[in-house]
Amino acid sequence: VPVSVICSPPQNYPLYIRSVPTENELKFHYTVHTSLDVVDEKISAMGKALVDQRELYLGLLYPTEDYKVYGYVTNSKVKFVMVVDSSNTALRDNEIRSMFRKLHNSYTDIMCNPFYNPGDCIHSRAFDNMVNSMMMQVC
């Protein structure tokens, strides 16, 4: 059960956060926030080398007993963090990658919108729908 998706710009405040099971949401928020540190660490460790598609996907950030956290960073240093349930073993790496890719695509669509100011919270309905459908798909 992908429980939470968050994207945050380099300043590390969330532009968008969504959890599917709404109970215990705060715990996931916390997890996501702490995992931002891990993302940062991975990015800096990777060096300032050019980012290509492979490096955008950071993979499993760290697993805990209940869930796994995956990270993804865009070219503009916007981080996507996804927390999924560990019990969902059917969720393969490729699927996570494709989910991140979809997120990235939707995010670029939002960016194309001239009415969206970068840095605003994301209120796009299309984005919401995409995220919901994605999470429902995995649930």
- Using CB under 8 A as the criterion, which residues of the chain lie in contact with another protein when the complex forms? 10-11, 40, 43-44, 48, 53, 77, 98, 101, 105, 108-110, 112-116, 123-126, 129, 133, 137
Decide whether 28 or 99 has the Cβ nearer to another protein.
Answer: 99
Decide whether 34 or 87 has the Cβ nearer to another protein.
Answer: 34
DSSP the chain: ---EEEEE-TT---SEEEESS-TTHHHHHHHHHHHHHHHHHHHHHH-SPPP-HHHHEEEEEEE-SSEEEEEEE-TT--EEEEEEETT-TT--HHHHHHHHHHHHHHHHHHHH-TTPPTTSPP--HHHHHHHHHHHHHH-
Least distance in angstroms from the C-beta of 112 to another protein: 4
Decide whether 26 or 115 has the Cβ nearer to another protein.
Answer: 115
Least distance in angstroms from the C-beta of 75 to another protein: 12
Decide whether 90 or 112 has the Cβ nearer to another protein.
Answer: 112
Least distance in angstroms from the C-beta of 24 to another protein: 26
Least distance in angstroms from the C-beta of 65 to another protein: 29
